[in-house]
Structure formats: C-alpha cells, structure tokens
Amino acid sequence: MAWRRVPTSYDGQTLTIEAELFVNSIYVAYFAPYSSERHQMLITGAMPHEAVSVSVLGQTLDGRDLDLIQIGEPAPEKRAIWVTARQHPGETMAERWMEGFLERMLDPISAMSKDLLARAVFYVVPNMNPDGSARGHLRTNAAGVNLNREWHEPSLESSPEVYFVLNKMIETGCDLALDVHGDEALPYNFIAGTEGIPSWSDRLEDLLERFKSSYMKSSNGVFQTQYGYPRNSPGKANLTISSNALAERFECLAMTLEMPFKDDANHPDKQFGWSPERAKQLGADARSPLLAVMPSLR
C-alpha cells in the first residue's frame, strides 16, 4: 500500500483534507499505520538469525502476546541494552524506527553490529502496547491506562505490559534503556533525558551528552539537540515515566527518543514530511551512539 502526504488545513473547528481520488476507498491517518501483520513479519523475520531468540513475555489484557527479541547471549562482561517502542500505540513511527534498527543490528556483514554484539546483549520490544495498537488507541492500553505512567508500580490488572517487561529487566539487568516515541507538537527528533532523577550524576550527564553528540553525527543532523523538552529540576523527575524510573532503579543511562508526526522542521520534505522511511533510517543510525557509550555504561 502506497502512502503519500496530502494538503490539509485546520481553522479551529474543521479539518480539511484535499485529495484527488483514483480508487473507491482511501485510508486517512495522522501517520502511516503499522499493522499487526507487519509486526508479525518483523518478529518472524528476525527469527532465522543465529544470534536471535524470540520469546513471549506474557499476555496482554486482551490475550495478545508481548514479544521480546533477544539478540546475543548474556555473559558477565556483556552489557544489557533494552530498546522499547510504542508504549503509546498511535506513535507508529516508533516501530518503523525499530525496523531500521533491527535490520542493521542483524546485518551479518556489518562490522559495527558485530562489535556491538560482542559487547552487549540487546533486548528489544518492538511493540509495548499490542492491545492499544489493535484497538486504534493513541496513548493507552485495553484498560485505558497510559503505560508510560506505570513504571513505578505496574500491575497485572491495569498494566501487564510494563509488569512483564520490568520483571524481565530485573532478571537481566539494564545498563542502557532507550524508549522510542513520537511527539505531536515538536517537529524535531530529540531525546528527553532523566536529569531530574534523585541519583542524577556527572557520569550519567557525560554518557547522555556523548550519546546525543554521536547521534547527531551518525544521522547527519537529523537528530538534534537544540529543541526538546525542558530539563527537569534536580529531584523533580516523574518516576512513573519509563526512562526516569529505569535510570533511578538501575543507575543507568535511560532515554526517551521523540520523533515528529508531521515533518522535521530542520529538514522539511514537502511531499512526504516525516515519513516511515525516514524514521526507519533514524533507527539504523542509532548503532554509532550506542557504540560510543558502550565502554562507560558500567
């Protein structure tokens, strides 16, 4: 199915979409959808790789599988890297990012990927919210809960997705966590750090700046640091949010990556805006910053 951007306008009451139709029916979306079928293709496509093991962490409230892709085998000297996406199911650019990231990580001839896998085990959850995705929710699961506000005390009754992932993290450890999202307001790619957690330190500050600097270079400036959320004041972080909760619990580098819905204002594309292909490329570009911080994660 082909996706293209069409002219839209909003006068405060009415959203107007202008499109010349060549077929009997069309789909209209804020950002290109990511279907359950495509998710299954992503999971099954990873399975044949020698370094990959796929498991189900548990079932959601609607009885759907919560999939985990593990790349590499644990060893005492290896870091534990967690990458999650789509806590907010409507932010489908996050799973497109995952496609690009996984394709590069599983490239058998990539020296950079081999280096990363020699140093770390990767635990990847491409879709944290299968129920919300199937139901067409923007930010919540089947219970109407925002999963990114459940990381202090998740429960099987309201947030089993977070409960299962957090328990697995406690089992494996977590040296770095990257949670991938989309932001409806800011037209930039940026990272929200965890500067407001009680245990924030110079070490974490250095790791964060090193990661962001490397990401800017690897993405040719598509990832940027000028625009983003305001830093939390010391000790004022919301510890129910994934990155804050994990940074505090594991004393690790934890970050929230945000991408735009409409376009990247620094690199606008009048025809396609911020497209699935561009989100996928940003995922592919994430290996260099991971490698840049790897030696100092412990």
d(CA 57, CA 162): 10
d(CA 273, CA 276): 9
| Strand ranges for 86-149 from DSSP E | 120-125
Q: Are 80 and 121 in contact (CB under 8 A)?
A: yes
Query: What tokens does 204 get?
Result: 């974490």
d(CA 25, CA 16): 17
Beta carbons within 8 Å of 136's beta carbon, 6+ residues apart? 90
Beta carbons within 8 Å of 121's beta carbon, 6+ residues apart? 70, 71, 72, 73, 74, 75, 78, 79, 80, 81, 172
List the one residue out of 266, 260, 252, 264 whose CA is nearest residue 208. Answer: 252
Handedness of CA 167, 168, 171, 176 (dihedral sign): negative
Just list the catalytic residues. Answer: 258
d(CA 248, CA 250): 6
In angstroms, the Cα distances linking 11 to 8, 14, 16, 240 are: 10, 6, 9, 36
